[in-house]
A and B are shown apart, each in its own frame.
Chain A
Amino acid sequence: MAAPLLPPPPDPQFVLRGTQSAVNALHFCGGTQAQGCPLLFSGSQSGLVHIWSLQTRRAVATLDGHGGQSVTWLQTLPQGPQLLSQGRDLQLCLWDLAEGRNTIVDSVHLKSVGFCRSSILVEEQLRWMLAVPGKDNDEVQILEMPSKTSVCTLKPEADAKPGMPMCLGLWQADTSLRPLLLVGYEDGSVALWDISERKVCSRIACHGEPVMGLDFDSQKARGISGSAGKELAVWSLDGQQALQVRHIHELTNPGIADIMIRPDRKILATAGWDHRIRIFHWRTMKPLAVLAFHSASVHCVAFAADGLLAAGSKDQRISIWSLYPHT
């Protein structure tokens, strides 16, 4: 083999320490906008949200809004510096961060205690759609924000029994205005919902274990999902809105906590329970790197708009990587 010719795996560009508890959620913000230096938000097990400056590599602020319960999901809104944070205290908080403020301006009460991360779809300025796990075990609720009006509740047919939703992905094709939702369920299946018609367009069973993370590339109509099992599944969407499994990639160790495709759709990263971050080429699914830096399971990965990769782990560290930079 040509193994000796391959370069050794790279080291992280830098490491952020100081969350003092396991890192569960990461989100990049800015970098290209005028609002200043790029920021990284991290949500920790202890319920705190840290805001890191990537320039000084220090935490610039800490948000405490979830009463010591773990923060599972972070997302910024495009209008103004507003942050959404989902915690296991069943609150989804909207933070106003403009001009150094850090106050909760709004919050949504969630009804599910699961680990399912929410998802948003920004339709136009000041109006966005939010998908959250619903009241019943297998439901997904769609809310119109910021009015918090419930649009609908997506409940699978009675005989389907897919279990709890584990991960959500709201998206909209460029050509149509119909919002679509991808849901990874507990039984290992991935389903595509048409929200306006409230029905399942297609559902594939691509994993034997609960789906833990998915990401979708709307331009190529192709997505990827990872589960608690050993396999990564690449599936695609055809013209009739039907999902098809394209490729199954076998991993060395089971368990994928999070999965994300880089915004330029060249590579993707997975967060593994085996302490490793894996990088794949998105088009060919060729494995590119196995980053073994963390000493405990990696919980989340996030890509910045400029391609920087962040990974948060149970070992309380956030590692920042610069791989295969944009050309």
Chain B
Amino acid sequence: MEPARSAVGLSVREAVHTLQSSEDGGRVLSVLGSLRRYLRGAEEPALPDEQEEFAAKHFSTVLRCLVGRLSPRWLQLSPGGRLEQLWGSFFLEGPADQAFLVLMEAIEGTVGPSFHLMKMAQLLARFLSEGRMAALMEEQCRPQTKPGFPLLQETLLSKVVSLPDHLGNRLHQDNLAQFFPQNYFPLLGEEAVRVLQAVVDSLRGGLHCSVSFVSRVLGKVCIQGRHKEILGRLVPQLTALTQGSCLWQRVCWRLVEQVPDGAMEAVLAGLVEAAPGPEVLSRLLGNLVVKNKKAQFVMTRKLLFLQYRCTTHMLQSLLGYLAMDNQRRPLLIQVLRELLETWGSRSAVRHTPLAQQRYISTAVLICLAHLGEPELRDSREELLASMMAGVKCRLDSSLPAVRRLGMIVAEVISARIHPEGPPLRFQYEDDELSREMLALATPRPAGDSSLEAGGSSLDPGVAETPAEIVEGSVPAAGLQGSDSELDSDDEFVPYDMSGDKELKSSKAPQYVRDCMEALTTFEGKDMERWEAALQALEGLIHRNPEATREVSVELAKVLLHLEERTCVAGFEKLRQRALVAVTVTDPARVAEHLTSQFYALNYSLRQRMDILDVLTLAAQELSRPGRLGRSPQHSSLGPGTQSSPALPASQSGSAMAPDWRVVVENRIRSKTRRFSKGAPRQEPAGGPNEFASVAGCFFFPLIQHFDRPLVTFNLLGDDQLVLGRLTHTLGALMYLAVNTTVAVPMGKALLEFVWALRFHVDT
């Protein structure tokens, strides 16, 4: 051994010397040729001992020397680029780790763009494209004995992972496409698969191998946030390879297990995202969550409770993975229990964002879909308690979305926990969210692996469908054809049929008092009259303000207590409009009555909110400019009719002779020539704000008693829904009374009111 070593060392030293000094092309070539003999796979190779010695001790020296000599003139020493080819072959055929390190070192050491730098970069690109990266990693997977190995591995690791950064820093705009992260990391993924293939092969051959280097590369790449690129290549290939091969599965499990703890979260999150479904995830991870504490923490706590960025699909993969193996199922139950605990916690409902609440709810529903009857039975009491707490504080919430979430989840949970009991049903609008959530709750069929199959194996059912459609359409076409007349419907344009209403047998009342009588009759027979009275009431009030004033308070009472006794279309609207009309007709007395009733006992929240709405609308109506001059019958005709409020008065005042002012203006107009005429502008009619005189009646009684709880009504407590409406109404009244004399005391009162609310839970 000793003489061989010294012989190799001697010849290498001599060659290096020649390379450094010689300017003779032939000489350089022959020296390089002799050095090449030491490379593996060369023609007429040197002895294996000598090769090993060269690779271990002298290779990097030679490479450094070669790097140092590189210049345009030196490459010209031998014509035809032979020298360049030979030069490159040392990097591409020698031990990959050393070649890579020397290349990176050379590139990092170069300052500014130069011929040298570009040559090295191109060489590195060839290095990558010829699959040397796989060779590099494969080398690291073999059992190593050399001293200082961990240090070397660490350096290699950081260089491999940060290659795009280094190259980008050096090359700036001249960077090659291969070194862009979006190209490099997928390549790295491919190379990793090849390394794993080699590992599997050598394991089959009975050799010991370790995948820890690949794991560390993977971990580091994922930490850098490049998990999409690398796993996008790795996962589909592993999905295919692990199918039906235990060895591959074991290698995969090992690969994930060996990921350092610090990178575990990044890798697992990436895998959950990239895996097409729970089956694949289960094949790739095995029982990792049971074996590895860190993985367990990430999968069962971190991804579920500490963040909420996973999509529904990822959640399905994750929880499905937990459900797929008997060893992992206890974890799933535990997860459900913890999820429900979080779901039911009042503080979580109040302080977490809506997106996270939705996330937790989704996770709960998916868990429920995976868990079976007996498993749920064991922890039924606990789950029920959490659910009840959660539903309660959710229904109390003032956000509709939170309430809706509570309803949906409660329905599903109660259906699963108490399948035999009467189903819990809430009323909520059937929208996209609720449909999506309810779809999650239905358990997936067991053999549903269509996600995994991808495009490779088409479901035979899918292939048959088009044929069926074609078959199905033939008889239909035949039917059409048998109808000999091919008349199009174009010539039969329907007329407007909106007038096709149900025929009413009874007539509408003609007087306000009749209406009141009809509305207060409690015999069930005359429902049609009741409906007609309700529909006619608003118009009647507008037409007969005098008659209305006589009975205004009684009428308001009747309307306020009116219940929907038949399914009249738009009952709420009709009742509200009638109430508003009464209030507008006789504002002071009706407002006094309504505001006193707002704080009275024995009213439902609905009625109290109706009072608020009516007051707001009436105030709005009263304060609208130009309301005075308008005849009330035209109220439904829109703004076009309020052309000139002064017109009727002037006509009635001087019906006989035309107004002199008009005559004069006409004369002036006929004698005046104008260069251009704008559109005739209507002066906005000025008028007193009718609301000004009664604003106090609306406002002060409402704001007086808000902090005095009644038995049935506690504004500052549970009835915060009404409080919100009250605040809105007070604000609206204040706004409508702007510029009136009463506005100043109103503003003061409102400020006091707002001050009292500053620590309210909803703020």
Q: Which A residues are closer than 8 A to B by beta carbons?
A: 3, 6-10, 220, 252-253, 265-267, 274-276, 281, 283-284, 286-290, 292, 324, 327
Contact = CB atoms under 8 A, between A and B. Distances in A.
Contacts of A266: 487, 492
Contacts of B498: 3
A6 B495 contact: yes
Nearest to A284: B489
Interface in B468-525: 483, 485, 487, 489, 491-503
A103 B501 CA distance: 46
B494 A289 contact: yes
11 contacts: A6-B493, A8-B495, A8-B496, A10-B495, A220-B483, A265-B485, A266-B492, A267-B492, A288-B495, A289-B494, A324-B492
A283 B487 contact: yes
A289 B492 CA distance: 10
B491 A3 contact: no
B493 to A, nearest CB: 7
B502 A281 contact: no
**CB-based closest 8 A-B pairs:** A6-B496, A289-B495, A290-B500, A9-B495, A274-B503, A288-B494, A290-B497, A253-B503
Contacts of B491: 324, 327
A283 B491 CA distance: 13
B496 A9 contact: yes
B492 A287 contact: no
A274 B497 CA distance: 14
Interface string B342-362: 000000000000000000000
Q: How large is the interface on B (under 10, 10 to 19, 20 to 34, 35 or more residues)?
A: 10 to 19
A281 B496 contact: no
A327 B499 CA distance: 28
A281 B489 contact: yes
A283 B485 contact: yes
A230 to B, nearest CB: 10
Given A266-B487, A283-B483, A283-B485, A9 B492 contact: no
Given A3-B496, A290-B499, 7 more contacts: A6-B497, A9-B495, A274-B503, A281-B489, A281-B492, A283-B483, A290-B500
A7 B492 contact: no
A267 B493 CA distance: 12
Nearest to A273: B503
A8 B497 CA distance: 8
Nearest to A255: B503
B495 A286 contact: no
B501 to A, nearest CB: 7
B485 A287 contact: no
Given A252-B502, A253-B502, A286 B496 contact: no
A266 B493 CA distance: 13
Contacts of B501: 252
B461 to A, nearest CB: 33
B500 A276 contact: yes
A3 B494 CA distance: 10
Nearest to A291: B495
A290 B503 CA distance: 13
A275 B503 CA distance: 9
Contacts of B496: 3, 6-9
A288 B493 CA distance: 7
A141 to B, nearest CB: 36
A281 B495 CA distance: 12
B205 to A, nearest CB: 76
B65 to A, nearest CB: 86
A251 B492 CA distance: 20
A278 to B, nearest CB: 8
A267 B495 CA distance: 14
A288 B500 CA distance: 12
Contacts of A252: 500-502
Contacts of B483: 220, 283
A289 B502 contact: no
Nearest to A279: B495
A289 B495 CA distance: 5
Contacts of A276: 500
B483 to A, nearest CB: 7
Nearest to A281: B492
Contacts of A10: 495
Contacts of B487: 266, 283
Contact of A6 (B489, B492, B494): B494
A327 B501 CA distance: 32
Contacts of B489: 281, 284, 286
B499 A292 contact: yes
B495 to A, nearest CB: 4
A196 B491 CA distance: 42
B494 to A, nearest CB: 5
Nearest to A266: B487
A253 B497 CA distance: 14
Q: Which of B485, B493, B494 has the most CB of A within 10 A?
A: B494
Contacts of A253: 502-503
A10 B498 CA distance: 14
Contacts of A324: 491-492
Contacts of A3: 496, 498
A9 B500 CA distance: 11
Interface in B500-554: 500-503
Contacts of B495: 6-10, 288-290
A210 to B, nearest CB: 20
A6 B499 CA distance: 12
A184 B501 CA distance: 28
Contacts of B503: 253, 274-275
B494 A287 contact: yes
Contacts of A287: 494, 497
Contacts of A288: 492-495
Contact of A9 (B485, B499, B502): B499
A313 to B, nearest CB: 14
A33 B502 CA distance: 42
Nearest to A10: B495
A286 B489 CA distance: 9
Contacts of A8: 495-496
Contacts of B502: 252-253
Given A266-B487, A283-B483, A283-B485, A7 B493 contact: yes
Q: Which of B483, B485, B491, B495 has the most CB of A within 10 A?
A: B495
A253 B505 CA distance: 12
A275 B493 CA distance: 23
A9 B495 CA distance: 5
A3 B500 CA distance: 13
Nearest to A3: B498
A327 to B, nearest CB: 7
Contacts of A283: 483, 485, 487
Nearest to A276: B500
A197 to B, nearest CB: 28
B658 to A, nearest CB: 40
A298 to B, nearest CB: 12
Contact of B497 (A275, A281, A284, A289): A289
B500 to A, nearest CB: 4
Contacts of A292: 499-500
A281 B489 CA distance: 8
A231 B498 CA distance: 19
Nearest to A6: B496
